[in-house]
Chains A and B, each alone.
Chain A
Amino acid sequence: MNGEPKGKLALYWAASCGGCEIAVLAINERILDVDALFDIVFWPVAVDAKVHDVEKMADGSIDVCLFNGGIRTSEQEYMARLLRKKSKVLVAFGSCAHEGCIPGLANSTSRRRIFETVYHETPSTENTDHVEPQPSTAVPEGTLHLPVFYDTLRTLDQTVKVDYYLPGCPPEADRIWDAITAIVENNLPPPGSVIGAETTVCQECPRKRNEKKVKKFYRTWEIIPDEETCLLEQGLLCCGIATRAGCGARCPQVGSPCIGCYGPNEGIHDHGARMMAALASTIDSNDPEEIDRIIRDGIPDPVGSFYRFGLAASHLRRKKEAMIET
């Protein structure tokens, strides 16, 4: 970017909660530095530029696009492909784009079930006509189109090529700033890398670690952990051992087990598999029945516990369910 007066920056929001948009602002006054360095050419939540404006841009004319959210609808897929084409550097920003996050956890159910829940079953829903969104609806004026809601959420890199990843739900402000600095200073790791730490949360966790031997797993409401010892050693399902550092071990520091929002560590594909491998290995029993009991009594929801953020990016990607729908 040297020599050029200002770079061009785009931000987009696909299947995510919007927290990542707020997280960008959490860099506080440094946002002014961003503004000084970049022209924000597209940011639907904050800037009045339309999709058509992007469509009209020359390919590769956006220097950096921070894309948050997974891909659940045809519109999101269209936007992902469009922004990929128009951007030199595409960053999967935050857990949803990176590994699916909570929207990706819906891969443990189906589009049908999601619609049932959202449009029919929730107590606050009144839908006596059983209306559901339809991809196309005929009206006197012609046909109205809604994006198609896919059965499986895909991560950004399962949809288009991604240059960098910024993990976290949401990414910590300082890590965002680190990434922006790296981009501006052209000090980026090799393409395809995660911009962030290369170790796990334990590195940043002040709790004392001794021996990992677990006879019983507890849920957070079942015990009050002591303040100094490793939470996992106390039987809590702390995902810090397998989760990329960068958050400063915020949760375990205050007695709440890490839920894994920063995703797997460098070079690891399947976050939950790492947790399962490590945790199962530390179970203090050689008796198959007791082992089963320890696992099943202590971990009522393995997918939710180990793949809260990474299901869509995992080897299996989703739960197998009858998806037949007409």
Chain B
Amino acid sequence: MSENGFKPRIVAFLCNWCSYTASDLAGTSRVKYSPRVRMIRVMCSGRVDPSFVLKAFALGADGVLIAGCHPGDCHYIEQNYKTMRRHAMLRYFLEQMGIQPERLRLVWASAAEGQYLAESIDQFVADVQKLGPLRWSGVWEDPWRREDAFDEIAAEHAEAMEVQA
């Protein structure tokens, strides 16, 4: 279902200590990577509320990336394990909701891994490109020409009113 010219919109949540610093390092090292990723800095990947991920999809994101410190290396000791657990839960839920779980990716990137983070972003963008656009907000746009249906019933009632009047 990939489309020509599809430019994915991806939101990345980066933890301050490892992955955000890795993104800084990628910058300092002038590593070029896909510009399709928009970044949000959080202090810890453990701050990433599943609501943020769902909201990102609802707002039109085609993919969401969460990046944190490697397991065991969390700046906050063990909080990225909570991220790991929520990620597992979210993927499971997304599957059931008909969103390919591959649209949510968890990446562990240390402060030293600017290059790796850039590569992971490129890989993710490429994978989302293959999956095609998600266009989630279109999901609840009824194909039933809601407006027409409404106008019809309104007209019908107006007509009935006239008959009565």
Contact between A and B in the complex (any CB pair below 8 Å): yes
User: Could you list which residues of chain A lie within 8 angstroms of chain B, going by C-beta atoms?
Assistant: 51-52, 55-56, 74-75, 77-78, 81, 107-108, 111, 135, 145, 147-152, 154, 269-270, 272-274, 276-277, 279-281, 283, 285-286, 288, 291-292, 295-296, 299, 301-303, 306, 314-321, 323-325
**Total residue contacts A-B, CB cutoff 8 A:** 137
Please pick, from B50, B85, B139, B154, the residue contacting A318 in the complex, using a CB distance under 8 A: B139
> Within the complex, what minimum Cβ distance (angstroms) separates B52 from chain A?
9
B55 at interface (Cβ–Cβ under 8 A)?
Answer: yes
Are B157 and A78 in touch, CB under 8 angstroms? Answer: yes
Asked if B105 CB lies within 8 Å of chain A CBs, one says no
Q: Which residues of B contact A325 (CB under 8 A)?
A: 143
Measured in the bound complex, the distance between the Cα atoms of B142 and A318 in whole Å is 11
Are the CB atoms of A315 and B51 closer together than 8 Å? yes
Q: A145-B156, A315-B51, A320-B99 are in contact. Are A302 and B82 (CB under 8 A)?
A: no
- Closest CB-CB distance, B58 to chain A, in whole Å? 4
> Which parts of B76-102 form the interface with A (CB within 8 Å)?
78, 81-82, 84-86, 88-90, 92-93, 96-99
Residue in chain B with minimal CB distance to A78? B153
Contact status B84-A286, CB under 8 Å: yes
C-alpha spacing A313/B77, complex, angstroms: 36
B157-A55 in contact (CB<8A): yes
Are A147 and B153 CB-contacts (below 8 A) given A276-B89, A318-B140, A319-B98?
yes
A314 with B81: CB separation less than 8 A: no
| Contact residue among A269, A281, A286, A303 (Cβ-Cβ distance under 8 Å from B96) | A303
Report the stretch among B4-12, B18-26, B123-131, B144-152 that lies at the interface.
B144-152
Give the distance to chain A from B139, nearest Cβ to Cβ, in Å: 5
Residues of chain B within 8 A (CB-CB) of A77 are 146, 150
Asked if B54 and A273 make an inter-chain contact with CB atoms under 8 angstroms apart, the answer reads yes
Q: Is B160 an interface residue (CB 8 A)?
A: yes
Check A320 against B139 for contact (C-beta < 8 Å).
yes
- Among B54, B89, B152, the residue within 8 A (CB) of A315 is B54
Does B71 belong to the interface (CB within 8 Å)? yes
Which residues in A have their C-beta under 8 angstroms from that of B50?
273, 276-277, 280
The residues of A that contact B146 with a CB separation of less than 8 Å are 74, 77, 148, 150
What's the Cα separation between A8 and B107 when bound, in Å?
59
From A280, A285, A314, A319, contact of B89 by CB (8 A): A280
Q: Which chain B residues lie closer than 8 Å to A111 at the CB level?
A: 144
Shortest B104–chain A CB gap in Å is 12
Tell me how far the C-beta of B42 lies from the nearest C-beta in chain A, rounded to whole angstroms. Answer: 14
Asked if B13 lies at the interface with its beta carbon under 8 angstroms from chain A, I say no
For the complex, is B49 an interface residue (Cβ under 8 Å from A)?
A: yes
- With contacts A151-B144, A286-B71, A320-B136 known, is A302 near B93, CB below 8 A? yes
Would you call B161 an interface residue if the criterion is a C-beta within 8 Å of the partner chain's C-beta atoms? yes
